[in-house]
Every structure is written in C-alpha cells, then in structure tokens.
Amino acid sequence: MIASSCAVSNSHHRCSARPQMSCRSRLASAPAARPNEIPLSGDVTEASLDVLSLALPRFAEVSTFAGSLDTSDDFLIRDIRDGLAFEHLGGRVSGVLQPRELRLDILGASARQVMGEIVALYCSSGGKGPERAQVGYGARMVHLAAMRLSGGRIIRHVCQDGRLIDPVTARPIQAARLVLKPVGPKPLLLTPMMRVA
C-alpha cells in the first residue's frame, strides 16, 4: 500500500465524476464469498471500478494508460519511475499505472470476488448475461471476462484468485486487448486462440 503521507501531485488530484462506461450494464448476483475470504463491501468494488472505468476506456481510445487518473480526486498519487503509484482514498485498493501496464492490488478480498462483481456490473454478451469463463491453473482458478466499449471495441481480461492481496496486472497484447496476468512462474496469457465461453 502507498503511505498516506505520500506527496500528492496537484496535476493528478483534480475533481471529476467517474465517466460512465459505454458498454451495456447488467446487474447480476456476485459469487458467494469463500470461507477464507472477507465479504466485499461496496467501497472495494466501487474503488476498483473507479480505476478500471478510467484506465480501460483510456487505453481502448489512445492505446496507453498514461493520464487515466489525471482528472480524478479519488486517489493519492506519487510519481515513480516510468509511471505513477496510486492509492484509492478508501485505502483498500492501490496499484501502479504505467503507459503500457496497470497493476491493481486489492486488500481483503480475492480477485474472484471483485471481478465477479465488476463483470456483473459492466460485462454483457448480447443480452445473454455476462461473458465469463474459468480455466484451471495449477492449484488456482483463472477467471476470464469480456467488456464491450464504444465503437465495437472489446477488451478481454483474465485474473487469478486465491490470495487475500491479489496483484492483477493488465498489459496490452494488441490494440483494444488487455491481459490481466496471474501471478506465478508460468503466467497464463490470453491469446487470440482463447475465447470466453
């Protein structure tokens, strides 16, 4: 987590409402918490959505994450090499934002929980419900989903559960496609041959 005493750049600490996602919205039940998981509070999902709703459309539009958080006053931000470190003011979501990479660290909940709620909120498949799939990865489960953006763009992503602090790394493979790479010795990459069921 980023210390609360970190310097906040005025250029990165401006007020703006979170932009609306341009994909179809479909509310669905989030997955039930497992025994070793802390039940989600709305602030964790909301904070994660704050980051993703700024960063993902930004990348889809201009092929970079740089500048995604410039218009938000919801984050403590400090400059680091080749990017920014950020912490949501709620304290349970932090990460690193670089031009070609986004890492989102979620405290007190697994990526399965958070992504389950996020997928339910903004992923849809032609009215058939959220696009989602699961792939076994060693002892862990990898979760895939798809998000539709404006202009017919689709961003597909994958995350891994099984940790109370889940690093979720996003990096582009090609234009308008991101990978949330699971932590491990053999990262699973979403390739053009893999499709969300």
Q: Give the model confidence (pLDDT) of 117-136 as tens digits.
A: 665 555 444 544 445 555 44
In a domain, 196, yes or no: no
pLDDT for 109 equals 61
Provide the mean pLDDT of the chain: 55
The answer to whether 85 touches 78, Cβ cutoff 8 Å, is: yes
How long is the chain? 197
Calculate what percentage of the chain has a pLDDT beyond 70.
30
In a domain, 27, yes or no: yes
Rounded to the nearest 10 degrees, the angle between the axes of helix 111-122 and helix 42-62 is: 60
pLDDT for 154 equals 52
The answer to whether 178 touches 100, Cβ cutoff 8 Å, is: no
User: CA distances (Å), 114 to each of 9, 119, 166, 186, in order?
Assistant: 28, 9, 10, 23
In a domain, 189, yes or no: no
Rounded-to-integer distance, Cα 175 and Cα 34, Å = 36
The answer to whether 149 touches 176, Cβ cutoff 8 Å, is: yes
The pTM score is 0.51
Calculate what percentage of the chain has a pLDDT beyond 90.
3
pLDDT(45) > 60? yes
In 106-150, which residue ranges form alpha helices assigned H by DSSP? 111-122
Residue 112: both structure tokens together: 């399965």
Could you list the residue range(s) of the whole structural domain that residue 137 is in? Answer: 10-181
Mean pLDDT across 165-188: 41
In a domain, 163, yes or no: yes
Residue 9: both structure tokens together: 């750049």
Three-class secondary structure of residue 42 per DSSP = helix
In a domain, 197, yes or no: no
In a domain, 5, yes or no: no
In a domain, 187, yes or no: no
The number of folded domains in the chain is 1
